[in-house]
Structures are given as structure tokens and as C-alpha cells.
Amino acid sequence: MEAPEGYRTVETPDDDVYYWKHKEKDVDVRIQKSGEDYDLDLIIHGVVKPVGFYKLSSAKTEAKGIMEENPEAENIERHTAY
């Protein structure tokens, strides 16, 4: 899966985990399988900020949207979307 602009994909040993690192800032995105859905987390300065649980396609879209609109993503609140 292609990383959002300004990010690079980090290879993981698990096929059910997607991980992106910002090229300049200390902000990462992690999407990982959790049951039948995927858990979307932002990792800002080493602190995990949960965003919510999604179907895989929705998690990818949400992650790209968050990071492209707000690369710092410091004001993200946890929510669930299906």
C-alpha cells in the first residue's frame, strides 16, 4: 500500500500490519488487524494515539486523509467508523 505524501512505508514481518514513518517529523501511522477489523493508531513522539477501528479499506483511507490534512495530527480524538 502506498504511503501518504511525506511518509515512507516501513516493512513489517506481519502481513496484517501497515506502518508509515514521516520523512521529517516524529509521527508514525500504524494499521493492524484486530479481530475482523483494523485498528488505526498514530504514534506521535513515541506516544500511541488510538484513532479507531475500521474495515481495512476505510482504515487506509482515514489514515491517508488524517496525515495529508494534518501531518502533526496532535488533536485526533478516538472514534469508531464502519
Query: Could you report the per-residue pLDDT of 36-81, keeping only the tens digit for each?
Result: 999 999 898 888 989 899 998 888 888 878 777 765 555 555 544 4
Phi/psi of residue 62, each to 5°? -65, -45
Q: Using 50, 70 and 90 to split pLDDT, how confident is the model at 23?
A: confident
What pTM was computed for the model? 0.76
Between CA 67 and CA 55, with CA 82 as vertex, the angle to 5 degrees is 70
Residue 19 domain-assigned (yes or no): yes
Nearest to 38 by CA among 14, 60, 68: 60
Between CA 29 and CA 77, with CA 16 as vertex, the angle to 5 degrees is 35
Write out the residue range of the structural domain in which residue 28 sits. Answer: 7-69
33: number of Cβ within 10 Å: 15
Residue 82 domain-assigned (yes or no): no
How many domains does the chain fold into?
1
DSSP for residue 69: H
Residue 13 domain-assigned (yes or no): yes
Which residue has better confidence, 40 or 24? 40
pLDDT of residue 75: 52
3-class DSSP state of 60: helix
Residue 34 domain-assigned (yes or no): yes
Residue 30 domain-assigned (yes or no): yes
Which residue has better confidence, 78 or 8? 8
